[in-house]
Each structure stands twice: as C-alpha cells, then as structure tokens.
Amino acid sequence: SAAMFVAWQLRPGSAVAIKDTIPAGTRRLHLTNACLTADSSKAVLLWRSGGEALTLLRLSQAELSASMNVQVELDGSHSYSLEVVGGSVDVAGFVELTEEADDARIARKMSEKRPVKEAAVKAGDAKSSAKPSAPAAKGLSAQQKAEARKSEPKKAEVPAAKKASAQAAAPEKQAPRQPEKEVKDFVAAKTFAGKRPGMVFKKGAQGVGYYRDLGPMATGTKRKADDKGAKASNSQQRKVVTAAGGLRYEVMKAAPPGAVRAKKGQHVQVRYDGRLASNGKRFDKGTIRFKLGGGEVIKGWDLGVADMQVGEHRRLLIPAALGYGAQGAPPDIPRNADLTFDVELLRV
C-alpha cells in the first residue's frame, strides 16, 4: 500500500472530521506527532469515535510536543474526529492508501497538469477562420473602386528596416512577466493563518508572526559573509562523517563545553528543517520529541541524532534507504528520495 503525509491545525471549539480531510480509499490512519502552538500554554488532544471521547495526550509549557503511536482502521462504519480543549495544537501523521486509491490519486494529479496547447491551437484556428474576407470587386466601375479605397482606413507605413527588425524579433516575444511580490522581513500574527510564500511562522526577536525564510542555501547559490576570515576558518573545521547504512553528517555548530550527550533509550527534543537533497525544497520543519533508537522516527534520525550534545547543530545527509525508501511520503517526498535535515538538539 502507498502512504501519504497528513497534518491538521486544531483550534478549540471546532472538531476536524477525519473522513472529510483524507483521500477516499484510506484504510488506516497513523497519528505520530503533536505540537503546542506558540499562542497556547496548554491543551488536551481528544479522539472521538461515535460520540465517545478518548484523551490521546496532554501538552503544556513543560512538554511542548510529543510523539504518538496511534493507529486506526478506517472501515467506514464509524465517524471519527479530532479536537482540542484549552489551546491550539498542530497534529501530524500519515495514511495508508489502497493501490486502487493511490492509482486514482496519481491519475487525478496527471489530469490536472494536462497541457492546454491543443486548446490554444483550436482557438487560433477559430480566430483565423473568423477573419473577414475582402469584398468582391467584380462589377464595380473605376470611380466606385477609387471611392471604396478612399473610405478604407489607412495603415501606417513602417520603414523597411524597422519591419525587418520586428519580424526577426517576433519569435522571441513572450508574455509580460508579472512582477514578483516582495517578501517582507516580518509580519506580526498572533496565530498561524496558513502558509505564506517565502516566510515561516515562529516566535522570534520581534515576537510571534511570519518571518522571511532564511533557511539553508540550495546548491549553487552564494551568500555574502560579514567576516570572510571567520567563514573560511569554520568551513575548514567542518568535516563530513560517514556513519552506518550510508548516513553522512557534518557538525554545523558545536555544543558548549560539558553539554549533555544524547544516548540510546533517552527521550530527546529536536528542532529540525527537512529538505529534498535533489533541489533543496523544504517539505517540513518544526520541533519533535521522541525516544532515541526506539523506531519512532526514520532510521536516519535514530542514527544521526545519536551521540549529539545539547546545543549542537548537525546537517544530516540521509539516503532514501534510511528515510522513506521506495514508498516515499507523497505528495511532499517522492519515492527513493535522499533527504537533508538541519537538526538542533534542544534537550535530553
């Protein structure tokens, strides 16, 4: 079966009906993570089935995020919903689709991207066929022909040099490009109100709101440094370490001396930024708490976060075999995709 990533933004007083937010043909739902939003101090996450409520977890300032291992078989005979009490929560997970449902989803996407070239050609043919033909001149006297020519609108004469230049440049004409919208450095917002192009929602130096996305650079771009000497020194100290299974990582920022080191079996909290290694496109970011080495996250994370110290930043270069493999996590992560994660260990 195929898998697809799902997420919800839950607000107090409104329930999310599961069947209305996932594709038809879903046979199993997995809930994996929940995170308290910046504007909330505590919240209780509830699962409702046929009128009965089940408490999944409680979040507070002491535990801003938590991992779950909730699996629900969706047989269509019950109505399921998610809701929160006391605060707002972002919930993530994935669904398992039947092969028929996955094929239908892919076919629907292909049909939405069908080229419109054929329609444009037909429109052009219709336009040319509708062009009025010149009036017949048979049966008119010489005087009538002269008067008809005088009544016709005169065309402005174009010098031969300009005409030739315009004809040569005609094939290169393109539709005027729309001016790109300028991305602001900061837009204040008390709550998350959906994605904004080129911006991320977080609590920063100017308060809670949307900040310009200054994430990791894609391959081939350049960024000016205020101190070239310091940058060169840091790049020389970094080295790529190869771990088990083909995982590679580099330490972007070392932890302070004496910082606690994460060990297998401990619960750790990590801030992360995930991108596709092929083009640098971000597919996820946030914070997560999980049991290190417990199989609650992808294998590349269990291996890459192991032995990190609190305050340390690493860039994990995870091959597909240690990520989502041949199955992927559509629509954001394609099959056999290598991944790049920038991770920071917040606490153990």
Question: Where in the sequence numbering do the catalytic residues fall?
Answer: 272, 283-284, 298, 324, 341
* Lookup: tokens for 138: 């048979």
How far is it, in rounded angstroms, from Cα 344 to Cα 312? 6
Asked whether the beta carbons of 247 and 322 are under 8 A apart, the reply is yes
SS3 for 12?
coil
DSSP 259-276: --B--TTSEEEEEEEEEE
The DSSP letter of residue 150 is H
How far is it, in rounded angstroms, from Cα 115 to Cα 138? 47
Asked whether the beta carbons of 288 and 297 are under 8 A apart, the reply is yes
Q: Are strands 80-85 and 267-276 parallel, antiparallel or unpaired?
A: unpaired
How far is it, in rounded angstroms, from Cα 51 to Cα 340? 42
How far is it, in rounded angstroms, from Cα 123 to Cα 262? 65
Burial 127-140 (b: 16+ CB within 10 A, else e): eeeeeeeeeeeeee
Asked whether the beta carbons of 121 and 37 are under 8 A apart, the reply is no
Q: Are strands 248-253 and 199-204 parallel, antiparallel or unpaired?
A: unpaired
Asked whether the beta carbons of 10 and 83 are under 8 A apart, the reply is yes
Measured at the CA of 283, the angle between CA 59 and CA 10, to 5 degrees, comes to 30
How far is it, in rounded angstroms, from Cα 48 to Cα 28? 16
